[in-house]
Structure 1
Amino acid sequence: MNDKINLNYLENYAHAFSEKVCSEYFGTKKYMSGQEIIQLTPSTQVNFMVIKALFEKWNEELDKLKSNPFFDYKDMAVAEALKEFMNVLSRAIKIENHHFRPLMEIAVIDTVLLAIDPLLYFWGEIEKSKEENPLKHLKASKKYIKWHTKLLAELIEKGGQEESEIYKNTLNDLYQKMLNELEPAQNLLASLNQVLPIDWNALIQSEAEEATVAAMPEVKEEVLDSNEEESEEKIDDLPISHTEPEDDDKESPTAPVIEERKSTPPSGGTIDPALAWARFESEQSGLLKGPIESLEDGVAINQRFMFTKKLFEGNPDLMGHAFKSIDKCDSFVEAIELINDRYVVKLNWDHDSEEVIEFLHLVYRKFDEK
């Protein structure tokens, strides 16, 4: 592909989308329930991406619980009790504004990625399974994915019990075969325009364009006719199923200006840590600006794919080792010195590339309070 997603614009769009939705909803209410999430926006897929995030949060907590060595969580009675407990929790979802906004932002990013680049999105879903067989995770995710369902179903069927690398190869083969059958991204994302119009000229950039721009110009854009049905389902149990949306005629307002982060990478043979720190510190706050405990925790699925492919020669193990090594550093300066020594020169990194800027910003977030 000669075109790619402008990640800076996408992050800022997701932030603005979340701000608009949450400001309208939480202007009169303090909490959001599960049923209200399902009907929150005109995009069924965005709504279910939020539910998917909650489901994954539950699984994370359950994994921590199962790590306790004093109890047998494989016992049938215990397993049934945990399942019932989850069903009870699903009927008692209660989220405040400041907790909900980040979930909404990630849901919008995931929705756009799924629509525009399902190969990248499902690649990320396979990665989430880490060392385990991806089958279980993909089956669970299927209940929340409303687009490109045939591709996902075929992946689950043909992937079998194989490891993640086999699933990735299978995914690539299936994607190439089904490419002409996939629903166009603009059709799928038309419902998002009812909340906040997407500037497609800003979202999709050719590789020849610069990775970042100072600001997006205001553009009047014809929006595809679309609207998604309100769900009448109840959240009795997670996972939740839902029907695909149907179209009707609706025209969106003019797209507002969405400013992007402006960052200039260091230049020269190696990266100057002082200059890099100063430039990232002067940036405007964005979706992924906050501090993180580890690079693994902070990296988004689209970044994981981009870093692996562009910076680490398609080797996820090499990237994983880099993350662990950088996390062990005591300062940003030490981390940049390690990056210079092991990766910048040896792997011929381009300082002006989007992927290097994103990677350095991730490292900055790791050390920005130290």
Structure 2
Amino acid sequence: MEDKYNQLHLDRYSKQLSNLLCDKHFASHDTINGPQLISFTPIKQVNLFIIKELLLKWHHEMANLRSPYFDYEHEEVKEALLNFMNVLSRKILMKRNAFEPLLQKAIYDTFLIVLAPVDTFEEKFLRIQEEITLPKLQENLKYIDIDKQLFTGFIDTLSPNSRDREYILSRFKLYTNANQGSRTPLSSIVNQFNPLLPVTEGEIEGLAQSPAARPAPVAPVQEKEIVAPIHNAQREVPASKPVYRRDEDSEEEEELTSNARPTLNDNFRKSATASLADSHSNRKIDSLKNSISINQRFSFINELFEGDNMTYYNVIKTLDEYNDAFAAKQFVTSNLAQKYNWNHKQDHVNKLLRLIDRKFS
């Protein structure tokens, strides 16, 4: 059984630590290169996951080079591409804006090896495999440091004919449950990260309680406004008059001048009416995960999460754990929207917000 963990806190911790480490490095460097990358943190697993994620993005870029006008299967072309990739791999050079997201994900994924080994196996070993073979599975072991014996031992149990993803994943779940005693404890990971940025096991496991007891994340202080409900989203306010809003906590009226700088929430509200009109149903849904259609899921993955299905899965899982629409929508508009730069994705974001409304209607 995989451990429960506070996904929101883990995400915040990963973001804070990656920001802290980048502040230290980029205070004296404009870029980071390959040799610096290999030993960037004292935690080997984090460095390995940075490299693996970098290689994944690299392969995606190489795939984009393909053209219908040339024979990319020709042996000479394949050899030239291989040589090109080998040269390029020795010329790694990144600025902070490109490197920091890789570091944040690597920190998060390092905790997941202990907290959710099945999810780790699915992403790191099965996600990018066009064809599953034992050599390809074994190749991925070089990016594993924590609990490497667990992953190696399982792969050694597979036959060369094991090609089905679902079968392999179900086998790994059984194997993990049967080898609980050999897994690295969470305390060991926490002790590795503590010198970099203090964290406790209790903070990581903070949501391992009943859904009713889970506290909703506190809204950021710097941005009080949220995406308007349906009935407010359809109202038009004259631009020439100042708008007054009553703060529910302080009961004080606050004037919002007409020339105020638009927030992300303002941008999303602009197309709210149109996107809501596109909704085919107002029926209540029990969960986002089970109610999003295949086509909609692919649309969200490609448009909102840059093709990363694991990030999509984790976000939807988090949203399903909220207890009210206000907190869930605030997480979308104040956290995810800034993290993934959704300024020009209003249509897709509003579809997601509408699904949240249906869940809590």
TM over 0.5: yes
Partners of 1:260 and 1:148 in 2: CA distance: 40
User: How far off its partner does 1:43 sit?
Assistant: 0.6
Give 1:136-155 correspondences, 5 Å limit: 138-155=137-154
Q: How far did 1:361 drift?
A: 2.8
Once the two structures are superposed, the pairs formed by residues 242-257 of structure 1 within 5 Å of their partners are none
Deviation at 1:70, TM superposition (A): 2.7
Q: Secondary structure at the match of 1:196?
A: coil
Deviation at 1:199, TM superposition (A): 2.6
Equivalent position amino acid for 1:125 in 2: K
**Residue equivalent to 1:58:** 58
Instruction: Give structure 2 stretches of 5+ with no counterpart.
Output: 234-262, 269-286, 304-319, 347-361
CA–CA distance in 2 between the matches of 1:273 and 1:326?
Answer: 21
Question: Would the aligned equivalents of 2:26 and 2:96 in 1 still touch at CA under 8 Å?
Answer: yes
Rg larger for:
2
- What pairs up with 1:217-296 in 2 under 5 angstroms? none
The separation in 1 between residues aligned to 2:222 and 2:135, in whole angstroms, is: 37
CA shift, 1:164, in A, is 1.4
Correspondence for 1:120: 119
Q: Structure 1 residues 328 and 166 mapped into 2: Cα distance closer, same or farther (>3 Å)?
A: closer
The CA distance in 2 between the partners of 1:90 and 1:328, in whole Å, is 27
**Secondary structure in 2 matching 1:143:** helix
Report SS of the residue matched to 2:214.
coil
Distance 1:146 1:30, change over 3 A: same
Distance in 2 between the 1:151 and 1:358 partners?
39
Q: Partner letter of residue 323 of structure 2? A: D
Q: SS of the counterpart of 1:16?
A: helix
Which residue is 2:95 aligned to? 96
Residue 33 of structure 2 is matched in structure 1 by 33
Shift in Å, 1:190: 2.2
Matched, 1:180 2:181: yes
2:297 maps to which of 318, 323, 345: 323
The superposition leaves residues 20-47 of structure 1 with CA deviations (integer Å, 9 ceiling, x where unpaired) of 1111111011111111011111111111
Partner of 2:216: 212
Deviation at 1:117, TM superposition (A): 1.9
**CA deviation string 1:233-284 (max 9, x = no partner):** xxxxxxxxxxxxxxxxxxxxxxxxxx99999x99xxxx965789xxxxxxxx
Alignment CA distance shift 1:83-1:211 (3 Å): farther
Q: Which runs of 5+ in 1 are unaligned?
A: 216-258, 277-284, 286-290, 292-309, 330-348
Q: CA 1:178/1:73 → structure 2, altered by over 3 Å: closer, same or farther?
A: farther
Instruction: Identify the residue that residue 6 of structure 1 maps to in structure 2.
Output: 6
Q: Give the conservation status (yes or no) of the 8 Å contact 1:8–1:260.
A: no
8 Å contact 2:9–2:204 — kept in the other structure?
yes
CA distance in 2, matches of 1:102, 1:150: 28
2:86 pairs with 1:87 = yes
Q: Determine the C-alpha separation between the residues in 1 that align with 2:195 and 2:68.
A: 50
How many residues are matched?
271
Any idea what the Cα deviations from partners look like across 1:172-205, whole Å, max 9, x if unmatched? 1211121111121221342221211113212103
Query: Does 2:335 align with 1:361?
Result: no
Pick closer, same or farther for the CA change 1:214–1:2 going to 2, 3 Å: farther
Higher relative contact order (CA 8 A, sep 6+): 1
**Secondary structure of the structure 1 residue equivalent to 2:180:** helix
Q: Quick one: distance in 1 between partners of 2:332 and 2:193?
A: 28
TM-score scaled by length of structure 1: 0.60
Q: 1:75 to 1:13 in 2, by over 3 A?
A: same
SS at match of 1:201: helix
Aligned to 2:187, what secondary structure does the other structure show? helix
Compared with structure 1, are the counterparts of its residues 319 and 6 closer, same or farther at alpha carbon in structure 2 (3 Å cutoff)?
farther
Q: Distance in 2 between matches of 1:364 and 1:23?
A: 22
Structure 2-normalised TM-score?
0.62
C-alpha distance in structure 2 between counterparts of 1:19 and 1:206, whole Å: 27
**Alpha-carbon distance in structure 2 between the residues aligned to 1:77 and 1:87:** 15
> Is it true that 1:200 corresponds to 2:201 in the alignment?
yes
Partners of 2:302 and 2:39 lie apart in 1 by 44
CA separation of 1:192 and 1:261: change in aligned 2, threshold 3 A: farther
User: Is the contact between residue 2 and residue 117 of structure 2 (CA under 8 Å) also seen in structure 1?
Assistant: no
**AA of the residue aligned to 2:119:** L
**Deviation, structure 1 residue 76:** 3.0
Q: Describe the shift of the 1:202–1:275 C-alpha distance in structure 2 as closer, same or farther (beyond 3 A).
A: farther
Q: Which residue identity is paired with 1:36?
A: Q
Task: Output the amino acid matched with 1:122.
Answer: F
The 10-residue stretch of structure 1 (178-187 or 72-81) with the greater mean CA deviation from structure 2: 72-81
User: In 2, are the aligned partners of 1:213 and 1:262 still within 8 Å (CA)?
Assistant: no
Equivalent-residue separation in structure 1 for 2:69 and 2:171 (angstroms):
40
Answer whether contact 1:34 1:91 (CA < 8 A) is retained. yes
**1:84–1:109 CA distance, 2 compared to 1 (3 A):** same
- In the TM superposition, residue 127 of structure 1 has moved relative to its aligned partner by 5.5
Question: What is the aligned-residue RMSD (CA, Å)?
Answer: 4.3
